[in-house]
Chains A and B, each alone.
Chain A
Amino acid sequence: MSKHRDDANLPMSGVKPVADDVRRELEFHLHERARELEASGMGAEQAMTEARAQFGDRKSVEEACEVIETRRRGTKRRAERFSALRQDVMVGLRVLRKSPGFTVAAITMLALGIGANSAVFSIVNRVLLQPLPYEHSNRLVTVVERHEKGGWGNLPWANFLDIKSQSRSFDAIAMYGSGDATVLGTSSPLRVRTGNVSSDFFKVLGTRPYKGRFPSEDEHKPGAVPVAVVSYAFWRDHLGSPASLDGVRIKVDENFNVIGVTPPGFEFPDGNQIWTPLEVSKPGMSRTSHNWETLALLKDGINPLTAQKDIDGVLARLAPQYAPDFDAVGSTVQTLQETLNGSFRTPLYLLLGASGLVLLAACVNLASAMLARGTARSGEFTVRFALGATRGRVVQQLVTESAMLAVAGCVAGLLLAAVILRLIGVLAPESLHIETIHVDYGVQIFALVVAVVTTLVFGLFPAFRLSAVNVSLALREGSRGTSGTKRMRVWNMLVATEVALAVVLLSSSALLVKSFGKVMQQKLGIDAESVMTARIDLPEVNYGGQSPTVAAFHERLFERLRTQPGISSVGMVNRLPLSGANPSGSLLVEGKPLDPRGAFNAYAVYRVVGGDYFAALGIPLLKGRTFHTGDRVEDAPTVIVDETFARSEWPKQDPLGKRVKVAGMDGGEEPWYTVIGVVGDVRPTSATGRFIATYYFDHRTRPPYRSRSVSYAIRSKIGAAAVAALLRREVTAIDAQVPVEIQSLSDIVSRSSSARRFPMLLIGAFALVALVMAIVGIYAVVSYAVTQRTREIGVRLALGATPVAVRSMVLGSAMRAVIPGLIVGAILSMASASLLRNMLYGVSPFDPTALVAGVALLAVAAFGSSLLPAIRATRVDPLLAMRTE
């Protein structure tokens, strides 16, 4: 209301337009000069001419003055605006400090809403929306073969070569395989992820060397000098960032010349550090061995489906030529993005929806808080209007206050988002790589916009409404402000919205919890309690080829561990169940007709085991016996099958004594294996995955490389740390160059269900936040309504109303808002439940108990949160109440 603020916009006496101001000043000078000259005896006309002459170039003086004056006024205006803003901020700070409860609540609500959303959106953005970090990432596809009965597998090398030469859909196509290998030569034996890649691998991904070069066509030929490309991180951390790669070598299973370094961050497919040409190892030409994955770059304008038809055509031509050594019935081509992240789409979008509902609830709460505050301050505004403040000034003050809240809420929200992101990182499946995701720039802008819009809309609402009322009327109404039924209707709607949102979130999370409970009840087929596992990888350098040292190593380690006190059983397996890898292949069951396509008639998961594997994992032996140290492995190899295998291959027959043969898995002539035992089924992928027929080899009957990289399982009572120490000691005693990685079996089991657990926990957390917001919101609105009606309640009490009547009046009006919210929430829950269908296990999306639980919980919470203000209402002193005027 001070003067200087107005003169920036309003013409006031004394402030002339620039040109006018300058012209009149100069005219005054000329006029005065001429008058003086006239007084000394000059003629009027001559005096004016003389005055002009003495003045000089009037035009340029005028221009110079105008430029300076315009600039000066601009500077002055900006300075004044800034000082007005500063004043508003100071007033705003004072106002916010005076009501810390409101301020903290508003900022907390904004922070929760924005934090949840920013965290989830950052993940969605990185995982689902942003292109993968490769050139032409939208044209990158993966290719797999389809097999009978909905099965699928990688392309065999021979098929890949034919597709590469005959298909017309790709700019480049490559194969790659990944595995862990021990690299020697650095300070300690290093376990790193390595890849065998075919020529064109880097071309498909559009990668260029950071240093050196990628392998040439010649280096991608069988028998070529072994060369390797290493990652930037490996080059920096383990090679010491050499400027020149001349003479740099690493030793994996043989010596490799390092010829190139990939750019920082390139670790395709999964944290790989070393890539070597795949062709050097002379890949076999079997058309039923599915060893490597295929990645291709589509030609511009070709879509995955067209490419798939193209490949299907090639496979259809190959099939009659190569049968029976051929099991592909078609192909599947899909984008790399879909292959990597497709399975996260539903849970992530659900989380985004849930966090959106939380934000909405936060906005609703904030809105009602701002409205309540606006009403409480109506006296202040009325006085300011009466004293001559313009609507503009009051709006400006409110905008500043709202913006301050928005910025504070936004900052707190983004900090919270970082925390939530870390939390999700702990819960989420590793393949999401949450640890590499940060709250991104776009998200921060999004958050700020949300915060500002919410606070502004509801912060300004009172200003517009108030400035419309007749000031003198408002003044006469005094501190009561302008309460009314119309206002209560707005609030009731806000409360109902909040209740509905909370019902949707609570019933959804109830569904997920119920489903997860069902998942947990599923029998895994193993007993993970007090079992430690250890990854043991025998370096190819010392345990390569067909040497018997691998089996000897394992037998020695079994012997040493078995005799330790406190250890009940020790076993070994090539790939643990539930750990994400289930090697499988076709086989021949004796006495059954051959599959028309080849020398096989069955397909099953196989595991290569040693020691007391079944006892260590708690897999029950149902029939026959397990492997013995004394088995004649050379001339009478034996095998153990699981229940599913036995049931599907030999229904109603005794499986013991039956014989099976591996179909072309490891090359060479395969012997018949005799079934000596039947064990219980084990879930191969997760608690909800189906059982797959599985058979078990004695590791001594398979080529050594099948058991070079294995997991040990040790059942003991001595605790994780003791087992780990014992294992390290015993392994080192046999061979100090063997790395060991320890993990408890229950960790592996729990990780196998993390894809289900993490959306459940997060949606549960969001539901809890929404519930708290609803409780706070209802409490605040009811309390406020009670304060507004203090006088009315006082009158009622004075006229003899009982406390019970007053209480039920207050509760009744609260429930009038809550009940429609519950109904709308229930309807919305049912409408949105089908979105959850894919994530539920053993529970219908329309499960009534979940919905009832959600509605009931909220009804109780709503009742509870309005009870307190209702009780307070009856404590009103009638006399005092009427005097509050």
Chain B
Amino acid sequence: MTDTRLRLLKGTFDVLILKTLTWGPAHGYAISRWIANTSRNDLKIEEGALYPALRRLEERGWIESAWQTTDTGREARVYTLTETGRRGTQTEIVAWERYVSAFARVLETRPDGAIA
């Protein structure tokens, strides 16, 4: 069985995590599931890679964490976007969208003649 899923471009994982957290506080597992589900499993992400990424964002002060008891009665480390993080996320998303649309324009635009 060949894996046809897309490899994630470096640096883009953070944007996905941050975007996920804009919907509200979440623990690591929930974030992981949300990204997998909404991308319809098209992205090839090792689940473990999420955790160092979360710690780094916390170190940068974009997110905060606290241990909380979940519905299932277990203790989970729940992450919340900070105000800095919220602003940062906006900037990152705008940058990412410009990147994507620039990429798309190059891929889709056809020349009238040869471009030599």
- Residue contact B48 to A58, C-beta cutoff 8 Å: yes
Chain A residue contacts of B48, Cβ below 8 A: 26, 55-58, 60-61
For the complex, give the distance between the alpha carbons of A167 and B31 in Å: 94
A21 within 8 A of B: yes
B43 within 8 A of A: no
For the complex, give the distance between the alpha carbons of A21 and B67 in Å: 9
- Residue contact A16 to B67, C-beta cutoff 8 Å: yes
A29 within 8 A of B: yes
Chain B residue contacts of A25, Cβ below 8 A: 28, 51, 76-77
15 A-B pairs besides A28-B27, A28-B29, A60-B48 with CB distance below 8 A are A25-B76, A26-B51, A28-B77, A32-B72, A33-B47, A54-B46, A55-B46, A55-B47, A56-B47, A61-B51, A64-B52, A64-B55, A65-B52, A69-B55, A71-B59
Say whether, besides A21-B77, A61-B52, A65-B52, A29 and B28 are in contact (CB < 8 Å): yes
For the complex, give the distance between the alpha carbons of A28 and B67 in Å: 11
For the complex, give the distance between the alpha carbons of A343 and B104 in Å: 93
Q: In B25-54, which residues have CB < 8 Å from any A CB? A: 27-29, 32-33, 46-49, 51-52
For the complex, give the distance between the alpha carbons of A31 and B70 in Å: 13
Number of A-B contacts (CB under 8 A): 64
Chain A residue contacts of B102, Cβ below 8 A: none
A630 within 8 A of B: no
- Residue contact A24 to B75, C-beta cutoff 8 Å: yes
- Residue contact B49 to A33, C-beta cutoff 8 Å: no
Report the minimum CB–CB distance from B68 to chain A (whole Å). 9
Of all A-B residue pairs in the complex, the 9 with the closest CB atoms, nearest first, are: A56-B46, A56-B48, A61-B48, A64-B52, A68-B55, A72-B59, A32-B29, A25-B77, A29-B29
Report the minimum CB–CB distance from B7 to chain A (whole Å). 14
- Residue contact B29 to A33, C-beta cutoff 8 Å: yes
The chain A residue sitting closest to B49, CB to CB, is A56
For the complex, give the distance between the alpha carbons of A21 and B77 in Å: 9
Chain A positions 58 through 81: 1 when the CB is less than 8 Å from some CB of chain B, otherwise 0: 101100110011011001000000
For the complex, give the distance between the alpha carbons of A31 and B56 in Å: 23
For the complex, give the distance between the alpha carbons of A22 and B49 in Å: 13
B8 within 8 A of A: no
Report the minimum CB–CB distance from A21 to chain B (whole Å). 7
Interface residues of B (CB under 8 A from A): 27-29, 32-33, 46-49, 51-52, 55-56, 58-59, 66-67, 72, 74-77
- The B interface is mostly helix, strand or loop, or mixed, namely helix
For the complex, give the distance between the alpha carbons of A24 and B32 in Å: 16
Chain B residue contacts of A24, Cβ below 8 A: 75, 77
For the complex, give the distance between the alpha carbons of A578 and B38 in Å: 104
For the complex, give the distance between the alpha carbons of A751 and B74 in Å: 92
For the complex, give the distance between the alpha carbons of A14 and B78 in Å: 12
Report the minimum CB–CB distance from A25 to chain B (whole Å). 5
The chain B residue sitting closest to A61, CB to CB, is B48
For the complex, give the distance between the alpha carbons of A231 and B116 in Å: 76
For the complex, give the distance between the alpha carbons of A509 and B90 in Å: 79
- Residue contact A28 to B74, C-beta cutoff 8 Å: yes
The chain B residue sitting closest to A16, CB to CB, is B67
Chain A residue contacts of B72, Cβ below 8 A: 32
Say whether, besides A14-B66, A29-B32, A68-B52, A54 and B59 are in contact (CB < 8 Å): no
Q: In A11-50, which residues have CB < 8 Å from any B CB? A: 14, 16, 21-22, 24-26, 28-29, 31-33, 36
The chain A residue sitting closest to B47, CB to CB, is A55
The chain A residue sitting closest to B58, CB to CB, is A72
Report the minimum CB–CB distance from B56 to chain A (whole Å). 6
For the complex, give the distance between the alpha carbons of A71 and B60 in Å: 11
26 contacts between A and B (CB under 8 A): A14-B66, A14-B67, A21-B77, A24-B75, A25-B76, A25-B77, A26-B51, A28-B29, A28-B76, A29-B47, A29-B51, A32-B29, A36-B33, A55-B46, A56-B46, A56-B49, A57-B48, A61-B49, A61-B52, A64-B55, A65-B52, A68-B52, A68-B55, A68-B56, A68-B59, A71-B59
- Residue contact B52 to A31, C-beta cutoff 8 Å: no
Q: Among A55, A57, A75, which residue has the most Cβ atoms of chain B within 10 A?
A: A55
- Residue contact B55 to A72, C-beta cutoff 8 Å: yes
Report the minimum CB–CB distance from B50 to chain A (whole Å). 8
Q: Among B32, B55, B72, which residue has the most Cβ atoms of chain A within 10 A?
A: B55
